[in-house]
Each structure stands twice: as structure tokens, then as C-alpha cells.
């Protein structure tokens, strides 16, 4: 199921180090190497899914678990009430650079809308 060419599969395998702050049966989360907010965490499924377009009907519980992780981490980081951003980019046109889906969880500062 892992993709040999995938950076995040290598993090999941422990071949590349990451600051992992959350683990469940279906997902892990680690701090982004180039944070865009005081807290910037990437929440990824253990299953290699390249883009949102590749999410299958059978993956719905997995994808839901990414949001459960976001809720839990937001509470731990202390910004559940003030607000935060949880966003997933799809394909190059939206800025996706790593083709293993990941929910960006950003918190600790105000966010404007629309995003760039």
C-alpha cells in the first residue's frame, strides 16, 4: 500500500524523521517543516492516497478520522474556541506539492478569507 516514491509514506515508515504529535489506527500528525502559523500540523492517513480525487468510497472513515485528529490536536494546542484553519490542497493548481493527502491544521493567529 505504501508508495516507494512518497515522502509521507517514508515518514510513516520511520525512514525520514518527523515531529510526530498524534497517532491513531488510521492517521498520524506531525509538525510542518515550514510552518505558516504558530501551530502548523500535517494530518495524514496511514493509507497512501495521492489526492482528494483518489479518495474512494471505502476511504470515508479514514478521511473522517483526519478531522477527528484535527479536533483533538486543536484542543491540545489550545485554539479550539478562537478558531483555526483545516485545509487540503488538491493538485498543483491549488499548491499541492506532496502527493499523499494531508490536512493542514493551522492555528495560533488570525486567518483571512479568501486564501491566496
Q: Which residues are catalytic?
A: 102
- Considering beta carbons, is residue 39 or 89 the nearer one to ligand AMP? 89
For 27, phi and psi rounded to 5 degrees? -150, 155
Question: Could you say whether residue 51 binds Zn ion (CB under 5 A)?
Answer: no
Report the distance separating Cα 16 and Cα 39, nearest Å. 21
Q: What is the dihedral of CA 81, 24, 7, 60, to 10 degrees?
A: -80
For residue 26 the three cell numbers come to 488510521
Q: Which of 89, 103, 105, 106 binds ligand AMP (CB under 6 A)?
A: 89
Q: Which does 97 bind (CB under 5 to 8 A by kind): ligand AMP, Zn ion, none?
A: ligand AMP
| Residues contributing to the site for Zn ion (CB under 5 A) | 3, 6, 8-9, 48, 100
Amino acid at each position: 500500500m505504501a508508495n516507494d516514491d512518497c515522502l509521507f509514506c517514508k515518514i510513516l515508515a520511520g525512514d525520514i524523521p518527523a515531529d510526530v504529535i498524534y497517532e491513531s489506527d488510521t492517521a498520524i500528525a506531525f509538525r510542518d517543516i515550514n510552518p505558516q502559523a504558530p501551530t502548523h500540523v500535517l494530518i495524514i492517513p496511514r493509507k497512501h492516497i495521492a489526492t482528494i480525487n483518489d479518495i474512494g468510497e471505502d476511504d470515508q472513515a479514514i478521511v473522517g478520522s483526519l478531522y477527528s485528529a484535527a479536533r483533538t490536536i486543536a484542543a491540545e494546542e489550545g485554539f479550539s474556541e478562537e478558531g483555526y484553519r483545516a485545509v487540503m490542497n488538491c493538485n498543483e493548481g491549488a499548491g499541492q506539492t506532496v502527493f499523499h493527502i494531508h490536512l493542514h491544521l493551522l492555528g495560533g493567529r488570525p486567518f483571512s478569507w479568501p486564501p491566496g
